[in-house]
Structure 1
Amino acid sequence: MSLLERLNEDMKQAMRNKEKEKLTVIRMIKASLQNEAIKLGEDLNEEQELTVLSREVKQRKDSLHEFEKAGREDLVEKIRTELQYVELYMPKQLSEEEVSKIVAETIAETGATSKADMGKVMAAIMPKVKGKADGSLVNKLVQQHLS
């Protein structure tokens, strides 16, 4: 079942169950996917769908951070709920240990020895962990391994 089909089924279920917040989030995800498809002029493949979902998660995490900083507890709860719904459609996230192992393997593959090689390592790692690990975690682990 494709992501769009899954979203449509979940949207129908959310309507039946009168889950307004979930319905709103599903509609936002669908709109983002459709906008991306229009922009590219083609149907999205799984990797492109994952890119859109990752963008949605990142936007919500950034908003969450800003609202927490501003002390807006009303909006913090709303964004946390939205984030939970969006993450339902993401692939299972890798643990920090799994990401660390991938980082070590990639550093060995690229022959990186110092922080000057960080860009090369990040460029090699990100396609491997796309949608399965947070970029900031990967960045932190690469820095630790290279120092």
Structure 2
Amino acid sequence: MEYQVLQDEIKAAMKARDNHRRDILRQVHTECKAIEVNERRDVTEADVDAMLKRVIKQTKETLDGSIKAGNNQERTDALTAQVAILEGYLPKQVEGEELVTLIDAVLADTGAATKKDMGRVMGELTKRTGGNFDKAAAAKELGSKLS
């Protein structure tokens, strides 16, 4: 997601009086603003995606802790909704048949044949997809294809 799109989404949530979505997006915006201030550079689309993933990870950890602690259901539902909203802004993940096809192409391009090459293949998959692929499924598929 582009930085300007994030700002536009915050404005749209404000106009729609969707306070929950607005607050969640502001959290991501604050993280991105820190990049501008601390690193003195413009925020890129990759930065916004990284911040979305980071906030999702933090929220999921909080959600897991909330479930284990047996906190009230209202908080658990709010955290679950927050994760769903944030995941809606991430780029589509490569999975299923599309992932298998991409793995085959990477294997052909890199000439990987053994399990020792798995890290190199995963790295190339990360480059080609921007990290937006099902890593567990990719590792399982690679494990079956490499000797």
- Say whether the fold is shared (TM-score over 0.5): yes
Distance in 1 between residues matched to 2:54 and 2:136, nearest whole Å? 14
- Equivalent pairs, count: 146
* AA aligned opposite 1:118: M
- Who is 2:137 aligned against? 137
2: CA distance between counterparts of 1:100 and 1:70? 39
Distance 1:62 1:127, change over 3 A: farther
Q: What residue in structure 1 maps to residue 116 of structure 2?
A: 116
In the other structure, the counterpart of 1:27 is 26
**Can you give the 5+ residue segments of structure 2 that lack an aligned partner in the other structure?**
none
Q: How far does the alpha carbon of each residue in 1:54-90 deviate from its partner, in whole angstroms, 9 at most, with x for none?
A: 3333444455455556655544422321122212322
Aligned mates of 2:134, 2:67 — CA distance in 1: 19
- What is the CA distance between 1:122 and its match in structure 2? 1.1
The residue identity in structure 2 corresponding to 1:119 is: G
Q: Is the 8 A contact 1:104 1:145 kept in 2?
A: no
State the TM-score, normalized to the length of structure 1: 0.77
Identity of paired residues, percent?
26
Higher gyration radius (CA): 2
In the superposition, relative to structure 1, how do residues 122 and 80 fare at CA in structure 2: closer, same or farther (>3 Å)?
same
Query: For residue 105 of structure 1, what is the aligned residue in structure 2?
Result: 105
TM-score by length of 2: 0.77
Amino acid paired to 1:85: I
**Structure 1: unaligned runs, 5 residues or longer:** none
Q: Say what the alpha-carbon RMSD is for the aligned residues.
A: 2.6
CA distances 1:89-133 after superposition (whole Å, capped 9, x unpaired): 222232321112111211222222222211111111101112532
Q: Which amino acid aligns with 2:80?
A: R
Change beyond 3 A, Cα 1:140–1:82: farther
Q: Report if aligned partners of 1:94, 1:133 keep a CA contact under 8 Å in 2.
A: yes
